[in-house]
Amino acid sequence: MSLLAARTQRVDSSGIRRIFQLASTMKDPINLSIGQPDFDVPNPLKAAAIDAIEQGHNSYTPTNGLVPLREQLIAEEKAFTGRDYSLEQMLITSGVSGGIFLSLLALIEDGDEVIIPDPYFVIYKHMVNLNGGKAVYLDTYDDGFSIDPDKLASMITTRTKVLLLNSPGNPTGRVFGVDTLQAIASICAKHGVLIITDEIYREFAYTPMRSISEFSENCLVLAGHSKSYGMTGWRLGYAAGPVEIIEAMAMLQQYSFVCAPSMSQYAALSCPQVDISGHISDYAEKRNLMSEALSSSFELGAPDGAFYLFVKAPEGFNGDSFTELSIKNNVLIIPGSVFSERDSHFRICYTVPNDKLRQGAEILCSLANDR
């Protein structure tokens, strides 16, 4: 008899991690798979973290996070969305992934339905399954990876508890428009469905980006600075939303993460003084470079934001088979089946030097055209 809990059988090992491990065994691959920025943490933030360590800020912080940091984030949310959160509505988390874990743990019971637009970030369905919920997939392929409000409304049942949004999206790069957000908010309000919105890629929006929290009171925002400031390993995010949910998440954090890393919190106090506009411009250029290089050979998704392209595999291939061929030719990409119930696409991350992007695009196009 296995000693493992049955819940562990509801979760699969991430296909992304398999590619990461493969990359470590290859000699100088063109790695278009890793979903993190290629720039380092800005020097002022490094200095702030070092100073925090040297000043002895190395112990636990309050579970909800440092008050000055929460106040700073409340001000940022007010400026971005117009929402005026209280301290009791703000929780510092160990990355947005930590926020997803805590929120679904606090909200989902056996049989609860969570609507997840497909394609989706890999963690979503697994955290729903882990908590005994039922992931219900809203296919967006035929809608340009946006959400058809009528389709959404038709999927809501008496068991529907949460809609999980991600804009700008991973893997699609899609940013939802205002009309779509307003329609989604209205539908969810009518049916009493909570909206969880993952907005970790806010800064990497190349078209105007709005938060659904502007249009919905029944909304939990998950965001952070780890992507935009290159500090993904510092594990820092935040959750903002209804007091009841934030209090439950904080209680669960006491018995799991305890608190977000203390030096990361202190360092984040310096984020408003750091200009990252140059990095955002660089990534917009990379997006344009890859879109132009691939568009003659591939059907691309809508790269409105984040730093991904979701690309349809060429005729004669599915996402998995084309990924295998690409890897054999020293270009690492991620099969779309990691992010979807379909296997028709693959994901490219363009956070690498431009010369590598050009080399990778040339190889991918030759593989598509030589079939």
pLDDT tens, position by position, 246-283 = 999 999 999 999 999 999 999 999 999 999 999 999 99
CA 309 – CA 350 distance, rounded (Å): 8
For residue 23, how many other CB atoms are within 10 A of its CB?
14
How distant is the alpha carbon of residue 359 from its chain centre? 27
- Name the DSSP letter for residue 205: B
What is the model's pLDDT at position 272? 96
pLDDT reading at 241 higher than 80: yes
CA proximity to 81, closest of 244, 199, 207? 199
The pLDDT of 156-178, averaged and rounded, is: 97
CATH number 3.20.20.140 given to 59-273: no
Measure the N-to-C terminal CA separation of the chain; round to a whole number of Å: 49
pLDDT reading at 215 higher than 70: yes
For the chain, where do the domains classified as CATH 3.40.640.10 start and end? 59-273
CA 125 – CA 142 distance, rounded (Å): 21
What is the model's pLDDT at position 24? 63
For the chain, where do the domains classified as CATH 3.90.1150.10 start and end? 6-41+276-369
What is the model's pLDDT at position 15? 59
The pLDDT of 133-157, averaged and rounded, is: 97
Please give the single-letter amino acid code of residue 345. Answer: H
Percent of the chain whose pLDDT exceeds 90 = 90
pTM: 0.95
CATH of domain 6-41+276-369: 3.90.1150.10
> What backbone torsions phi and psi does residue 277 show, to the nearest 5 degrees?
-60, -30
Of residues 9 and 229, more confidently modeled: 229
Percent of the chain whose pLDDT exceeds 70 = 96
For the stretch 120-143, pLDDT in tens is 999 999 999 999 999 999 999 999
pLDDT reading at 13 higher than 80: no
